[in-house]
Structure 1
Amino acid sequence: MNPSPQTPPAPQNSAAGPIHGLVQAGTVTGGIVIYGAAGPTPPPRQLPPASRAFVNRVTELAELSDALTHAGTAPWCPPAPALVVISGPGGAGKTALAARWAHEISGQFPDGHLYADLRGCSPSPSPAASEIMHRFSRALGATPAQISPDPEDRLALYRTLTSHRSLLIMLDDVASSRQIMPLMPASARSLVVATTRRERLGGLIGQDPHRLTVGPLPETEAIALLERLLGRRVNDERAAAEQLVQDCGGLPHALVAAAAHLSTRERSLTSLAMELAARTRTPERKPVNASRTGTVLDAAYAGLTSQGQRAYRRLAFHPGPRVASMSVQRILDVDAVEALRVTAELRSACLLQQAGGFYTIDTTVQEHARALAEHIDTAQAHAEAIERIVGWLLDAALTADLAAMPDRLRYTDRYQQAHTAGLVFETAADALDWLEETAAEIRAAAALALERGLHPEACAFAEAIRSLALYRRAYPVWDSVTDIALRAAQAMDDPGQLSRSAVARASYLVALRRYTEAADLLGIAVKNARNASDELSEASARQTLGTVYKRLGDDAGTHGRSRHFDEARKEYKAAARIFIAHARDRAVALTWRHAGELDLSARRYGSALEHLHRACDEFTELADTSNIGWTLVRIAETYLRKPSPRLVVAETRLGQAMEIAQAATHRPMQAQILGLLSEVAEARHEYSAAVGYQEQAAALLRELGHPDTVRAEARLRYLRIDPAGSAADPTDV
């Protein structure tokens, strides 16, 4: 291989090393290189920590362990994963019991422990089972290249990933069997533990679940819990402790909240018991949530500072289970020091829990906070709180998207204020990790924005998740957020926004190969962009429409002759004219590359080379090495496909591309290059070299979990047969 004397510039915005499952999206602008070796994924350990505020439940723990021992032993039970459903009222300690038992038996499930909070009874939207399945699949080692846009394929992948593993899966706060059934693993050596408030969770026919109902603690166990949390004070005020247990209804959650309240204030058990009794019996002091837990939470709330009370009521509207401290800062419009003081105050009252770099809100607590907010605050205060919460999550997501794909063409003006979220990401991979970890909150915030009429914000979320969708293949979130954005745009009198949201939705449909639907939506996008005199939105719609027509032509298999190719060519030319007029150089370069790839599919090799060389020159001016590399690969492929192949030129261009790919540890690009080098060697009748290159390509794709692995291995089998039909000499390989 003879690389050109002009060495391409060093890769920028790259994230190499042990980054699992990242792929280069070849049709994306942005000058980013995100990839890396797919190292072994350690078994996930996601169980929530066992609570220190846990006593006794000996009978329940024994029953659960006995159920596990005898799971599936009945002669009529086929081999299947065990399922345990723990039900009971809010605050009864279902999650604490499930977590304690899960930790006790975790050693029996060495291949991983998965956890998801389904938020079945939360005021905020519940995550879809497809979102949880995506998270579990990624935790079990699935790379983005393995994640299919087709829901049935994703289900098949999840079953494959779980079929040979012994897994413990905890599903917390389930509202219906529809949240359980898709997540059942395929291995009979696995266990699923679900908690629910539903007295009888139906729809589990065929699963033979073991059902356990959890109620209040007996008085002796409730007193033991208070002793563990408060020490000798309980014996000193035994009568008050017994009254406190009665006022709390024996519910562990209420008792823990009461103990937290007493621990942070210099007051006796007697005074708290008297206050709770007064709140229960005096009409003007009845709690807004009249449950036993609500009575205690009323007392905890009353003990907060005014700023703490304000934060508590505003967090009632927070979407998703996790809260960042910077979100609290934005919600209250205070500095970082005050935000940390308020979160510490809420934590000490057991109204927030620390979970890594985030805080979590218990469903029961959030219900109480929502009731208080509706009782105390005005509708305007609710709207302001929601706007601040949604605004911070949007700005944070936009910040991460900018870090992941810094040079992508963007349309929403909201990016200009994204820095106010206060987040900084050192690498593109860090930004993508944050987006993936926060996907549930982002999706819930977009839904909340649509519900509350924050339509511009709902639309902007579709742009904010673009990098997450492309690089991590987060199809469930991509589906939800682009659908929300389109509905929000349809509610606005803004044809330009409708055009942009239609393009975002169409991009998702293209990934699903639903080309006809995408083409119809893109036609609407072009029309609305013209009505709005929004030329850049029109260009984006036309560029995407060109890709749709190219895919339709490729699928038609007409050997390069297709009306779809003609339509695609027209759309690419129209998009390029607009991008040139607006000096959007990277978008112009990408459009030329698309046009070159179209001509390659249409077997118009001269035109393909013209467009591809033009694109390569533009990318070189922009120092966009990732796209330089991909364009060189396409140039080499064109020289190889010509009726009179120019093998030396093709090999030279592949050498240039390989320098870029190796410098950036870009393994997907390396695999494509090696596959084309194998074709070059085969065209020269150098069969041993062809096999060697193809072996390396197949090995790389296999390591990445890439869907092209099957095709690469099929070609390798073909190459191992010599022209005469006898097996190739393995010593030559």
Structure 2
Amino acid sequence: MSSESRLAALHRALADQAGQPVLFGDLVRSVWGDEPPAKPLPALRTLVKRLRRSVDDEIVTDASGYRLVVRPPGPQQLPADLPDFVGREDELGALAASGAPVLAITGPPGIGKTALAIRLAHRIRDRFPDGQLHVNLRGFASGPALTVEQALGRFLRSLGVPPAKVPLDLDEQIELYRSKLRGRRVLVVLDNAAELSPLVPGVDGCTAIVTSRNELAGQVRLDVLADDEAGTLLDRWQIDGSSEDRAELIKLCAHLPLALRIAGAHLADRHLSDYLADLRGDGRLDALEIEGDAAVRAAFALSYKALPDDARRLFGLLSVHPGTDFGVRSASVIGSLSTEDTERLLDVLARAGLVQKTGERFQLHDLIRLFASEQVGGEGPPALRRLLSFYLATAHVAAELAHPTMKRLDPLPVDVEGRSFETADEARAWLDAKRPVLVAAVQIAPHPFASQLADVLRGYLVSSGYRAEMALALTAGLATAHAAGDVVREGAMHNGFGQLHWLRGEYADALKSYGVASELATTDHMRATLLNNTALLKRDMGDLAGAVADLEDARRMSGEHPDLHVTVLANIGTMLGMRGELRKAIELFEEARGLSEEHGLELKVAVAAENLGFAHLELGEFDEARRHLEAALTFYQETMAAPFSTPNVLVNLADIAAKTGDHAQARTLALTSIEEARKVEDGRTEVEALILLGDFAAAVEKANAVGYSVGRRRAQLELARHDRALAEELVREARTSDDRLLESQALLALAEATGDAAVAGEALELARAREQSAVVARAEAFLAQPPANGGSTSS
């Protein structure tokens, strides 16, 4: 069989069981039949590497085989084409025929840049079978523009990158974006860009369509519509009248498509001659011969004046909405109207051409939004407050359901009630759908809404990996809180920045942010909370002694706050466990459980049970460990905490199964744990499951990606058994960080790598002192073996 035939056979064998792991042995038989190569596994690995380069689908290395994951269809993000688009054939033809990597369309507002870009994208989309990306960068809007980081995050997620895997560094994001596009044919539409940016792919096979009011290299700069094109547009809308009247309308609208559209909508139930009389009477008509938006504004004004009073009022109020589009519910809150009245008035505005409707969503052109903002008057701030109240109240309810363990500022009294949700999944779906508008709302919100909303969103943005959005929200919230002299909310924003820096691996900056927050703290409860956060950060930095010291201070401060006190007790127990003081840790976990039961903290009771299960597991007391873990699992599965808490319990139950000889059950539980962990982007638990499955290299890679140093060391322990240098490095790291559980394990790995019985004896002594039964058993087995050739047997 030829090399290419073997490649095809491998692909077929994986594709036949797509999504399922195929055993190494089965793949070898499928490719080589009864005549396998002398070294089948290395030969299979080489063939898999070739296949990965030749197919779009992902091939995942599993514990005992490979799994083919079919790449989903590419993103299809183009907005619908305008059915009444006319003209621009010369520009369309030139752009469609161009082989340039960037097709730039520029011109003044209202000239039809977006319509042409979308028409062009639909005309050439067949050339890009791997998908089309689209974003409105809002470079010229009155509200906040979309940042490069926000847009890159959206694109990367659309290209299949989970939020938690989006790099922290902008340059790394750009490189990942381009690497995802290499070898693909993807069309990227960048609407309302202020300049050419890294969002332009710069990759062979991909093309960007960019619209801008600014001059761009290689641009097609749009002029106003020609007489015949404007006439065709009027024909499409069945606007009757004499040729002279039609010509005058086109002239008064300055041949601008947007002005003609507004006029066309206004003429649906009016005579052209009457409309022209009104248009001539506008005091700005002497400026209509020139460039700019005067003609558009004249058309706006006439349409606006023709609206009934309630529609005019809602139109002006809609300008306060911070997002690119909105639904009926948001509009009804802004207008303080019933759903029925809102739907009726939005229909009036859509028929007048002042609001665009796409499906169930509505939006305002940037120029129309600006015009609307000039009409709103004194009702604007109260309308914005109503909308912010609605978003804040709803986000708080959603956050409590989706992320129940996250500590937040006390709720603000609000003017409007929020939505309610039945399940955590429904709450997360709302947060996903509203994320762009919620972040935009933080950026325009006055104090105290900005910092309050930023704090409410923190748990969601952290867990979902939206770090660019989190930075924008915290920056806006910090600015308004600082300006208002609100030290409580200012401290909350610095606490958020501490968390953000921690996620980015910027430990010094994280400590600084937590320090500033501590200086601003006004209560022992807040100071204890920050000490708890700092301790967890120091743990990840390898400073267990500093972590325990901070937690002991937090313990003294948190006594009057049972919920926080229980959390601190549990964290001290975890640190003591890492230092090998497992019996002391169990005492603290039992104390935490008792306090939780006393104060009705049901979730904390389950967390304490989970901690007890892990401690007994480390001690080798498997029946006791299983009892506690199963109790925790039962509670989690019956509550909203299940998605986030279940994966870690499953991986610990898998560990028990492995250590008690039930390897099939261990594998099943570990795979289930990975599946559940990936749903909530729980990279740490995924690392632990990969270790149990024996995929140590993948575990190290994942641990590095999510900044999980403890898991990285655990994975490296197994690799160190055959790598003396790595084993020595782990011994040094354990002693530097005071991780005593790791120290005995690393010493044993060093003994196994070198055959040194003296080192194994040291590991055994430490493990016995710390009651690490698994390490004790392995060290005793090692010492019971005859020394390996070349191994040291010095004593």
TM-score range, shorter chain: 0.7 to 0.9
Q: Find the residue that maps to 1:354 and give its secondary structure.
A: strand
Matched, 1:89 2:103: no
Matching of residues 98-497 of structure 1 within 5 Å: 98-147=117-166, 149=168, 151=170, 154-163=173-182, 165-177=184-196, 180-181=197-198, 183-185=199-201, 188-198=204-214, 200-201=215-216, 211-229=219-237, 231=238, 233-234=239-240, 236-263=241-268, 265=269, 267-279=270-282, 291-372=294-375, 377=377, 380-405=378-403, 409-414=407-412, 416-417=413-414, 420-449=416-445, 454-497=446-489
Q: Distance in 2 between matches of 1:404 and 1:356?
A: 28
Q: 1:283 to 1:387 in 2, by over 3 A?
A: farther
Deviations 1:608-646 (A, max 9, x none): 22233344456667887776665544333323434xx33
Matched, 1:569 2:548: no
Deviations 1:539-586 (A, max 9, x none): 244223323223323423x6xxx4312333224314531313xxxx4x
Q: Distance in 2 between matches of 1:408 and 1:668?
A: 12
Q: Find the residue that maps to 2:521 and give its secondary structure.
A: helix
8 Å contact from structure 1 (residues 279, 285) kept in 2:
no
The aligned counterpart of 2:581 is 604
Q: Distance in 2 between matches of 1:477 and 1:702?
A: 21
- Give 1:489 shift: 1.8
Q: Distance in 1 between matches of 2:421 and 2:263?
A: 40
Matched, 1:50 2:81: yes
Q: Distance in 2 between matches of 1:190 and 1:630?
A: 50
Q: Find the residue that maps to 2:558 and give its secondary structure.
A: helix
Residue type of the alignment partner of 1:423: R
Q: 1:166 to 1:669 in 2, by over 3 A?
A: farther
Q: Find the residue that maps to 1:426 and give its secondary structure.
A: coil
> How many equivalent residue pairs?
631
Q: Distance in 2 between matches of 1:646 and 1:422?
A: 48
Q: Distance in 2 between matches of 1:382 and 1:347?
A: 21
- Give 1:478 shift: 1.2
The aligned counterpart of 1:12 is none
Q: Find the residue that maps to 2:135 and give its secondary structure.
A: strand
Matched, 1:549 2:552: no
Q: 1:650 aligns with which of 611, 622, 625?
A: 625
Q: Distance in 2 between matches of 1:283 and 1:84?
A: 35
Q: Distance in 2 between matches of 1:162 and 1:623?
A: 52
Q: Find the residue that maps to 2:210 and give its secondary structure.
A: strand
The aligned counterpart of 2:490 is 498
Q: Distance in 2 between matches of 1:262 and 1:589?
A: 69
- Give 1:261 shift: 0.6
Q: Find the residue that maps to 1:115 and give its secondary structure.
A: strand
Matched, 1:62 2:90: no
Q: Which moved further from structure 2: 475-484 or 588-597? A: 588-597
8 Å contact from structure 1 (residues 163, 186) kept in 2:
no
8 Å contact from structure 1 (residues 565, 602) kept in 2:
no
Q: 1:45 to 1:571 in 2, by over 3 A?
A: farther
The aligned counterpart of 1:579 is 561
- Give 1:658 shift: 5.3
Q: Which moved further from structure 2: 392-401 or 673-682? A: 673-682
The aligned counterpart of 1:25 is none
8 Å contact from structure 1 (residues 98, 195) kept in 2:
yes
Q: Distance in 1 between matches of 2:89 and 2:289?
A: 35
Q: CA RMSD in A?
A: 3.8
8 Å contact from structure 2 (residues 551, 571) kept in 1:
no
Q: Distance in 2 between matches of 1:238 and 1:271?
A: 15
Q: Distance in 1 between matches of 2:382 and 2:645?
A: 48
8 Å contact from structure 1 (residues 547, 594) kept in 2:
no
Q: Distance in 1 between matches of 2:188 and 2:130?
A: 11
Q: 1:577 to 1:201 in 2, by over 3 A?
A: farther
- Give 1:112 shift: 2.9
Residue type of the alignment partner of 2:113: K
Q: Which moved further from structure 2: 216-225 or 400-409? A: 400-409
Deviations 1:194-244 (A, max 9, x none): 11111x236xxxxxxx53222211111111111111x2x43x432211111
- Give 1:362 shift: 0.9
Deviations 1:158-209 (A, max 9, x none): 44544454322222111123xx31x2447533322211111x236xxxxxxx
Matching of residues 591-630 of structure 1 within 5 Å: 591-616=568-593
Deviations 1:24-45 (A, max 9, x none): xxxxxxxxxxxxxx99865432
Residue type of the alignment partner of 1:126: A
The aligned counterpart of 2:525 is 539
Q: 1:106 to 1:150 in 2, by over 3 A?
A: same
Q: Distance in 1 between matches of 2:273 and 2:599?
A: 73
Q: 1:614 to 1:165 in 2, by over 3 A?
A: farther
Q: Distance in 2 between matches of 1:695 and 1:301?
A: 61
Deviations 1:346-373 (A, max 9, x none): 1111111223443211112112223455
Q: Find the residue that maps to 1:193 and give its secondary structure.
A: strand
Q: Distance in 2 between matches of 1:702 and 1:383?
A: 42
8 Å contact from structure 2 (residues 463, 681) kept in 1:
no
The aligned counterpart of 1:76 is none
Q: Could you state the TM-score of these two structures normalised by the residue count of structure 2? A: 0.70
8 Å contact from structure 2 (residues 439, 473) kept in 1:
yes
Q: 1:383 to 1:706 in 2, by over 3 A?
A: closer
Deviations 1:299-345 (A, max 9, x none): 11111122222222333333221233333333333333332222222
Unaligned runs of 5+ in 2: 1-68, 697-717, 723-748, 754-795
8 Å contact from structure 2 (residues 443, 450) kept in 1:
yes
Q: Distance in 1 between matches of 2:627 and 2:388?
A: 51
8 Å contact from structure 1 (residues 599, 605) kept in 2:
yes
Higher RCO structure, 1 or 2 (CA under 8 Å, sep 6+)? 1
Q: Find the residue that maps to 1:319 and give its secondary structure.
A: coil
Identity %: 23
Q: Could you state the TM-score of these two structures normalised by the residue count of structure 1? A: 0.76
